[in-house]
Amino acid sequence: MNAEYATYRCSVVICSHTPRRQVLQRTVDALRSQSLPVESWELLVIDNNSVPPIQDWLDLSWHPYARFIEERRPGLTPARLCGIRASDAPLLVFVDDDNLLAPDYLTSAVTIADDYSFLVSPYGKMVQLPDGTVLMAVYFEFFDQRGNESYVFRSRDGGQSWGEPALL
């Protein structure tokens, strides 16, 4: 881990190949609205052979720890592996280039990772708002490494506190 970045709580990794500009911009705008301070997370945009290159048009100057990384091998798997190698944080949050995260998504992910470190593989739940906007909401499912047990954490008050895990 790079000592300069050792204080990151999480790395947000967006893998993309020639995205629709407006869609990726909305994804980044949603990240910009996160309640977790930008000093607590890094943003990695993995450009998977986009034409034109994403860094030629996407402005990440608002984030002090944002990086564009080029991955020439085609496909989501090489792009994600590139993001994993480049990450300097203990928690990885993969965000598709067309997802809009709820404003407390990163804060919730970090809180759950801290409180339940034995769990792996968080997932968000898609929620459609009355205006048609689709967000990744503050619902998480975790699957542990001890078999098929799964735990569900559901926000009781909009993501401010979390219930105890319930075995499904």
For residue range 45-60, list pLDDT tens digits in order.
999 999 999 999 999 9
The SS3 of residue 9 is: coil
**Token pair recorded at residue 59:** 């402005």
The neighbouring-strand residues paired with 93 are 12
pLDDT at 29: 96
CA gap 69, 34 in Å, rounded: 22
Residue 159 has pLDDT above 60, yes or no: no
**Token pair recorded at residue 6:** 């050792």
Q: What is the pLDDT of residues 99-145, one digit of tens each?
A: 888 888 898 888 877 876 665 555 555 555 666 665 554 444 444 44
* Model pTM score: 0.74
